[in-house]
Structure 1
Amino acid sequence: MKIHHLRSASFVIESNGKFILVDPMLGAKGSLPPFSVLRFKRRRNPTVDLPENAKAILSKVNHALITHSQTFGFKPLQHSDHLDAAGEIFLSDHDIPVVTPKKDQAYLEKYRINVAHGVRNWQTIDYLGGKLTAIPAQHGHGWIHKFMANGCGFYLELPNEPSLYISGDTVLNEHVRRALAELKPDITVVAAGEAQMDVGKALLMSKDELLTFIKLSPGLVVANHMEALNHCPVDRTTLLELLKAHGLDNKVLIPLDGDVLDF
Structure 2
Amino acid sequence: MKIHHLRSATFVIETQQAVIIVDPMLSDKGALPPFSVVRFKAQKNPTVALPEGCAELLSKVTHALITHSQTFGFKPLQHADHLDPAGEAFLSQNDIPVTTFAKDKAYLEKYGMKVSHGLNPWQPTEFLDGSITAVPAQHGHGWIHKVMANGCGFFIKLPGEPSLYISGDTVLTDDVRRALDELKPDITVVAAGQAQMDVGQSLLMPTAEVIDFIKLSPKQVIANHMEALNHCPVDRKTLANSLQQHGLLEKVWIPTDGESRQFSA
Q: What TM-score comes out, normalization by structure 2 length?
A: 0.99
How much has 1:110 moved relative to structure 2? 0.7
Answering whether residue 26 of structure 2 is matched by residue 6 of structure 1, we say no
Match of 2:158 in 1: 158
Match of 1:240 in 2: 240
Q: For 1:1-263, list aligned pairs within 5 A.
A: 1-263=1-263
CA distance in 1, matches of 2:75, 2:202: 23
CA distance in 1, matches of 2:250, 2:260: 18
Give the gaps of 5 or more residues in structure 2. none
Structure 2: which amino acid aligns with 1:28? D
How much has 1:17 moved relative to structure 2? 3.8
How much has 1:91 moved relative to structure 2? 0.2
Structure 2: which amino acid aligns with 1:170? T
In the TM superposition, what whole-angstrom CA distance separates every residue of 1:141-169 from its partner, at most 9, and x where no partner exists?
00000000000000000110110000000
2:14 match: secondary structure: strand
CA distance in 1, matches of 2:9, 2:209: 18
In the TM superposition, what whole-angstrom CA distance separates every residue of 1:44-74 from its partner, at most 9, and x where no partner exists?
0000000002111000000000000000000
How much has 1:231 moved relative to structure 2? 0.2
In the TM superposition, what whole-angstrom CA distance separates every residue of 1:78-104 from its partner, at most 9, and x where no partner exists?
000000000000000000000000100
Q: Using the aligned pairs only, state the percent identity.
A: 70
How much has 1:121 moved relative to structure 2? 1.1
How much has 1:196 moved relative to structure 2? 0.2
Q: Do the aligned partners of 2:65 and 2:98 also contact (CA within 8 Å) in 1?
A: yes
The range that moved more, 10-19 or 146-155, is 10-19
Corresponding residue pairs, total = 263
CA distance in 2, matches of 1:9, 1:129: 25
Give the gaps of 5 or more residues in structure 1. none
CA distance in 2, matches of 1:11, 1:129: 21
CA distance in 1, matches of 2:86, 2:207: 31
Structure 1: which amino acid aligns with 2:179? A
CA distance in 2, matches of 1:102, 1:238: 36
How much has 1:174 moved relative to structure 2? 0.3
CA distance in 2, matches of 1:96, 1:123: 23
CA distance in 1, matches of 2:169, 2:194: 10
Q: Do the aligned partners of 2:120 and 2:134 also contact (CA within 8 Å) in 1?
A: yes
Two-structure CA RMSD over aligned residues (Å): 0.5
2:13 match: secondary structure: strand
TM superposition outliers: structure 1 runs of 4+ over 6 Å: none
CA distance in 2, matches of 1:5, 1:34: 23
